Homo-oligomer: A and B are copies of this chain.
Amino acid sequence: MKKYSDPPSGQQAENKAPKRVTILDVARAARVSAGTVSNALSGKRQVDPETRARIDAAIAALGYVPNRAARALRHGRSNLIAVCSSMPWQVAGGSSRLGFLMEVVAAVAPVALRHGIAVTLLPAEAEAEGFLDRIALDGAIVIEPLREDPFLRALRAQALPVVVIGQPPVPDWVHVDLDYPAVTRLLCDHLYGAGARRFPLLTGQEDRVVHEETIRAYRAFAAERGMVPEVLRLPEAAGEAGSAALMTERLARRDIDAVLVPVDTFASGVMAAARGLGLVVPHDLRIATRYDGLRARQEVPGLTAVDLNLPEAAAHCIRLLLALIAGEGVPPATPVAPPRLIPRGSTR
């Protein structure tokens, strides 16, 4: 008896062509028709126990394993969805492997798996290399798209079911609303409540819808409170170091008492800049970020952040996507529970 930990036969340079075993081979060996074998496997039709035994024996003897590509063709389902982010891998996966893409994948994957579908990751490069027409997908989730997002364009061209998580460029796209305006408002109010009277917003430079929404909400808050708004933008790829450099310069002017930094990588940079200038957080400078990831939790002091209810959002995404795949109609916008502030040392 072979143990499963035996080396895989045929992986070495043995020249035996593996010659795939088909359902027809099994059928022949069991002296039945292919259709019967198929039914035995799927259980969609009654099959004589004795016949079944012969089939099982044949399957075991031949080592038959169904061809998934053929099934996918037949069923019109690949059981695979993509999670797309128009951020380059450098940013999305990140040198710290901590991008929002990974976060969303981490939230989406288990839900998807529970529904019998697997998840593949598609960063910006994938679109460029035309991955959407290389692999068989049942649908896709697009994270925080750009205003003119190549993934959305390509997905629509493919007529694939799509759910956007975050802000879609136009509200007609089926999307799960993370309500970034509310999130921004929450953070602004918190900073203000903590005593901050002048704080710039530091965010990404790309033409991402989420940035627009955030900036809009920030400006609205500033107008309301009579605070002078200041929006600093930095290329996403600049990362922690870029943020630290920019903010070291900005903080040197000593005219602000807090910074609102939605992107957590940038927030780390601001922390570094503050340290470099000898500023004590939160005493000399308060910092609040949006995404409550490992960075926010591990910084010293911890970064005040927001619980975006990602698991719930992910569950919605999958539910919606499955409905779309099934051809059912769904409402374009699905709300998640209101964002919840997670106050930490950085604003206390």
> CB-CB < 8 A to A293: which residues of B?
96-97
**Residues of chain B lying within 8 A (CB to CB) of residue A5:** 147-149, 152, 169-170
Q: How far apart are the CA atoms of A136 and B299 in the complex, in Å?
A: 42
Contact B136 A98 (CB under 8 A): no
**Contact indicator A94/B78 (Cβ below 8 Å):** no
Q: Does A106 touch B at the CB level, under 8 Å?
A: yes
A79 and B89 alpha carbons, distance in the complex (Å): 19
For this chain, the copies found in one complex come to: 2
Given A65-B133, A293-B97, answer yes or no on A4-B156 (Cβ-Cβ < 8 Å).
yes
Q: For the complex, what is the distance from the CA of A163 to the CA of B197, rounded to whole Å?
A: 56
Assess whether A182 is interfacial by the CB under 8 Å rule. Answer: no
Q: Are A67 and B73 in contact (CB under 8 A)?
A: yes
What are the interface flags for A277-300 relative to B under an 8 Å C-beta threshold, 1 for contact and 0 otherwise?
A: 000000000000000011101111
- Contact status B94-A118, CB under 8 Å: no
Q: Are A113 and B129 in contact (CB under 8 A)?
A: yes
CB distance from A293 to the nearest CB of B (A): 7
* A113–B84 CA distance with the chains assembled, in angstroms: 13
C-alpha gap A139/B134 in the complex (Å)? 16
A69 at the interface (CB under 8 A from B): yes
Does any Cβ of B come within 8 Å of A273's Cβ? Answer: no
A131 to chain B, nearest CB (A): 6
Contact with B along A311-327 (1 / 0, CB 8 A): 00000000000001001
Q: Which residue of B lies closest to A297 (CB)?
A: B96
With A69-B78, A72-B69 already in contact, the answer to whether A105 and B129 are too (CB < 8 A) is: no
**Residues of B close to A8: CB separation below 8 A:** 155-156, 159, 162, 172-174
CB-defined A-B contacts under 8 Å, sample of 12: A11-B173, A67-B136, A68-B135, A69-B136, A72-B72, A79-B135, A80-B135, A82-B118, A96-B297, A97-B294, A113-B126, A113-B131
Contact in complex: A148, B68 (CB < 8 Å): no
Interface string of A10-39 (1 = CB under 8 A from B): 111110011000000000000000000000
